[in-house]
């Protein structure tokens, strides 16, 4: 009786989860051997192929429709509000001109506050 002790063969691809590819949930893999990469692979007809290239080939062949991941234009903001360009959310519109200063005071151009006139 001979006992052979050895390690298993390291697989070239490792399963990382499921991803929706052209409307269907598919198992996706990442490459284990070689240089680290961010490319995602899937199995098709027993072979591993890169998802990005596979989708482009299927769309070009007319078998799949291109994915519609286009962002919709946001709804217009309510009256008195404007859209913040950084966040895309509606915020209260700031008043353009400040209130006039009381008698004997002048607006400081640096701070925008009313100060006593000299």
| pTM attached to this predicted model | 0.44
Residue 41: give the domain boundaries: 13-61
Let me know if residue 52 belongs to a domain: yes
CA distances from 2 to 6, 8, 90 (A): 13, 18, 75
Among 18, 45, 49, residue whose Cα is nearest residue 31? 49
Tell me the C-alpha distance between 101 and 51, whole Å.
Answer: 65
Let me know if residue 91 belongs to a domain: no
Let me know if residue 25 belongs to a domain: yes
Tell me the C-alpha distance between 98 and 103, whole Å.
Answer: 15
Let me know if residue 50 belongs to a domain: yes
Tell me the C-alpha distance between 44 and 54, whole Å.
Answer: 9
pLDDT (tens digit, 9 = 90+) per residue, 27-77?
Answer: 888 888 877 788 888 888 888 888 888 888 888 888 877 666 656 678 899
Number of structural domains in the chain? 1
Q: What is the bridge-based pairing of β-strands 24-31 and 105-107? A: unpaired
Let me know if residue 86 belongs to a domain: no
Q: Which of 1-5, 45-49, 62-66, 80-84 has the highest mean pLDDT?
A: 80-84
């Amino acid at each position: 009786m001979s006992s052979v002790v050895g390690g298993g063969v390291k697989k070239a691809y490792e399963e990382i989860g499921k991803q929706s590819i052209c409307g269907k949930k598919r198992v996706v893999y990442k490459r284990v051997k070689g240089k680290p990469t961010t490319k995602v692979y899937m199995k098709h007809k027993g072979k591993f192929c890169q998802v990005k290239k596979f989708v482009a080939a299927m769309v070009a062949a007319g078998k799949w429709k291109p994915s519609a991941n286009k962002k919709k234009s946001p709804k217009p903001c309510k009256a008195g509000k404007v859209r913040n360009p950084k966040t895309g959310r509606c915020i209260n519109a700031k008043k353009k001109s400040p209130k006039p200063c009381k008698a004997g005071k002048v607006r400081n151009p640096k701070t925008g506050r009313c100060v006593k006139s000299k």
